Amino acid sequence: MKKVTLLIAGICCIGFTGLTHSICTRTVSAAEEATMTHEGVALPTRMVMSNIARRMSNILEGTLAGSFKYVAQEAGAIVDDSYRINEAFFPIDPKENKWFQQAKIDPNDSKKITQLKEGFDVYLKNIASSALEIQRAAKSEDQKATFKAFTNMVEKTCFECHAEIRDKMIPVENR
């Protein structure tokens, strides 16, 4: 039974690794059929999201290795990182917001910006509560509960936010 669980966890790990590696710095424009890099483009959220993705990979690896103290530490760091998302998406001066420019949001449209910020706040709370759930499970040193909390966060927080915010707002060529 333990071998089957480890096999399933390993397959999930490989799948998650593939998912995180699919978020790359290059995209292909179908119209130009050329590779475009994002190296010269200021993407305010890339650093924060890459940091969270790295910590999520660390949580998965730590869970599979049974390093629950490390998992709890990384989950706590995700809570801290989640508060930086608001700073990245909604800096003090909306006219200087590169994300607004990418998503073609008028920096003078305070109603839309307030609405977006309220939506982000829901996801930020979900990130924090999901990470705290991972942390609680890790502190109990229950591998299955920790893994379940991890997959719940990926499915119910990460994927939902990306589908709702990123995929609907940012054109593929600008991601």
Domain assignments of the chain as residue spans, ordered by start? 2-174
Please give the mean pLDDT across all residues of the chain.
75
C-alpha pair distances (Å), 112 with each of 104, 108, 125, 174, 175: 12, 9, 20, 20, 21
In this structure, the number of other CB atoms found within 10 A of the CB of residue 172 comes to: 10
* Residue with more model confidence, 149 or 43: 149
* pLDDT category of residue 34 using cuts at 50, 70 and 90: very low
Please enumerate in sequence order all residues whose Cβ is within 8 A of that of 68, keeping only pairs 6 or more positions apart, or say none.
62, 138, 139, 141, 146
Long-range CB pairs of 45-50 (<8 Å, 24+ gap) are 45/85, 45/88, 45/89, 45/99, 47/88, 48/81, 48/84, 48/85, 48/88, 49/23, 49/85, 50/23
State mean pLDDT over 135-160.
93
Q: What is the pLDDT of residue 26?
A: 36
Question: What share of the chain in percent tops pLDDT 70?
Answer: 67
Residue 104 CA to residue 107 CA, distance in Å, equals 9
* Residue with more model confidence, 106 or 36: 106
42-51, 103-112, 136-145: least confidently modelled range: 42-51
Q: What is the pLDDT of residue 6?
A: 53
Q: What is the pLDDT of residue 121?
A: 85
Q: What is the pLDDT of residue 161?
A: 78
> pTM of the prediction?
0.64
Q: What is the pLDDT of residue 140?
A: 96
State mean pLDDT over 128-151.
95
86 by Cβ neighbours in 10 Å (0-12 / 13-18 / 19+) ranks as middle
* Residue with more model confidence, 51 or 30: 51
DSSP alpha helix (H) spans, 22-107: 46-65, 68-89, 98-102
